[in-house]
Amino acid sequence: MSPRPFGARLVTAVSERGPLCVGVDPHPALLESWGLAQDVGGLERFALTAVEALAGTVSVIKPQSAFFEAHGSRGVAVLERVIAESRQAGALVLLDVKRGDIGSTMSAYANAYLDDSSPLAADAVTLSPFLGFGSLEPALSLAERTGRGVFVLARTSNPEALPVQTAALDGDGRSIAQAMVDEAAARNSGADPLGSVGLVVGATVGRTGLDFSQVNGPLLAPGIGAQGASGADLRTVFGDQIAHVLPTTSRDVLRHGPGVSEVRSAALRASAAIAASLRV
């Protein structure tokens, strides 16, 4: 029997737990604020405390791979535990890796994060399409076969991205960001209740002129809380596609640690506030 697609599993998770994704970002400043050492022991304590607080509560956990990789093989081993224990507690895991490459290298990345046999396999990953959307095909195909999802960068909030993502395609007139939106829409066409190819669009970018009406997939919106965006900003960015938005926050929840109950309570408050702002 074919695995249940990520898009359908996400719809179920959001209906049961609310529309919030919380990042597990073991940033050095957060470790310091929790009174933890800047080593793999501190990393493990921070990350597994976050899992204990969040994985039974929120719909999606989003570990930022770079902070684990910075500690070498032992840090990656902690990331493997975060993925496994979060999924065991019922959360979907979106691994934030932003990989993008070509040919056999892209296939190797796909196998690392989307193949059933890999200890790093998550429910979904973030991908960078700026070598061309077609370069992501190994990951797109493997994700479809294994019931996993991908979130493709489209319009990010960092200022350096603006001239690239808003540039017009030759002979087309669409922006590069709109082309990424349209490619995702094509992959999701006919999916019910929701496609498994999502987009990453910053919650702080304001009015973009992008047309999300045909995407039929999840819209990951980082930037809630510490980066300055609120639930109200999501309507400005996404318009009438607000029901498909998955807002994400990290520091605004994790700063309440190191107590498990305090972090969990912060996540529940954030989820309730986001749910109220997203009601159509």
The residues that are catalytic are 98
Pair 111, 142: CB distance under 8 Å: yes
Pair 274, 225: CB distance under 8 Å: no
Q: Report residue 111 CA to chain centroid gap.
A: 18
Tell the residue number behind the tokens 């809380």, with chain if given.
Answer: 225
Distance separating alpha carbons of residues 6 and 4, to the nearest angstrom: 7
Distance separating alpha carbons of residues 142 and 126, to the nearest angstrom: 14
Tell the residue number behind the tokens 């999502």, with chain if given.
Answer: 198
Per-residue tokens: 44: 């493990």
Q: What angle do CA 97, 99, 102 make, to 5 degrees?
A: 165
What is the gyration radius of the CA atoms in the chain, in angstroms? 18
Positive or negative torsion for Cα 245, 248, 252, 253: positive
